[in-house]
Amino acid sequence: MEGKKKKYLSDLSLLFVAFAWGGGFVVVKDTLDSMTPMYIMAFRFVLATVVVYLALHRWMGKIDKKDLLKGSVVGVFLYLAFAFQTVGLQYTTASKQGFLTATYVVMVPLIFMILYRKIPRMKIFVASILTLIGIALMVLDGGLTFNQGDLLTLVCAFFFALHIIAIEYFAKNMHVFKLAFIQIAVAAILFVISALVAEPMPEEITARSWWAIVYMGVISTFACFTVQTVAQKHTPSSHVSIIMSLEAVFATLLGVLLLSEVFTMEMVIGASLIFVAILIIELWGIKDSGTEQLSST
């Protein structure tokens, strides 16, 4: 009974993480009205680096060159994923981006099979076809053209998929807190450099923007990572992936409610097909794959 309680509590805590990450799309979209993309991410990841170190350094231990190299590879993928996501969000809606980002759940097993030369299972074909149809319905606004933000978001989903695979590969012989700190720190450094080189420094940061940065750095990055790490000790990875994919649903609901975004019937059908594809990947033969891990948005 005690084990079941822990599993239920873990599932509920992961639901909170999905909600927080879904809200992250809305928060970033709102902040883009007053700040440029790279500076938003620079402030977010610098704050997250400081908080992660202060909270978890006693368990990380000494960081050697091998740790730094492994964490840097993961950190570069994390940087690229968030960079494309944040820039793309300037040109698309938070609700649409939430679902398009979630396509990384389908991309992961496809990339995994290419890297390890494994024959695709039937569920991959089915999920991929549903995802392609869903994406078409969501982003092809009456013609055969992609919105710039939608295309950038799909690139971001690809890098999130690589990020997940890299974590799976490097985390086997490395403490998870140490890997988390290094990747976040590397992403922070890259975002600071990108902001200073590519964008003008903000003349003024509003109180609303500071609150958004605190939310993204402390809640979306530090708190969600910590909760997810602890929760995964008590609940199956299949539960984790299914619950976390709900961030796309929360992003949609919050985008419509808080930002007055329009969600057409075509987008509803497309989003539903993508969500079904995600569930197929996670529920159909969940014992077949070791790629059921997830990354934060």
Q: What is the pLDDT of residues 48-106, one digit of tens each?
A: 999 999 988 888 888 888 999 999 999 999 999 999 999 999 988 887 888 788 788 77
C-beta separation of 188 from 47 below 8 A: no
Strands (E), 111-259: none
Spans of all domains in the chain: 2-283
From residue 39, alpha-carbon distances to 73, 81, 118, 122 in Å are 22, 15, 41, 43
DSSP class of residue 171 equals G
pLDDT (tens digit per residue) in 175-204: 878 888 999 999 999 999 999 999 999 888
Task: Enter the pTM of the model.
Answer: 0.80
Q: Which tokens in the block code for residue 35? A: 């700040």
pLDDT-flagged residues of the chain (< 70): 1-4, 119-121, 124, 138-146, 229-230, 232-245, 281-282, 284-297
**How many Cβ atoms are within 10 Å of 234's Cβ, its own excluded?**
17
What is the chain's Cα-based Rg? 18
Neighbours of 13 (CB within 10 A): 17
Please identify which residue in the block is written with the tokens 């199956």: 236
DSSP element (H, E) containing 106: helix 104-116
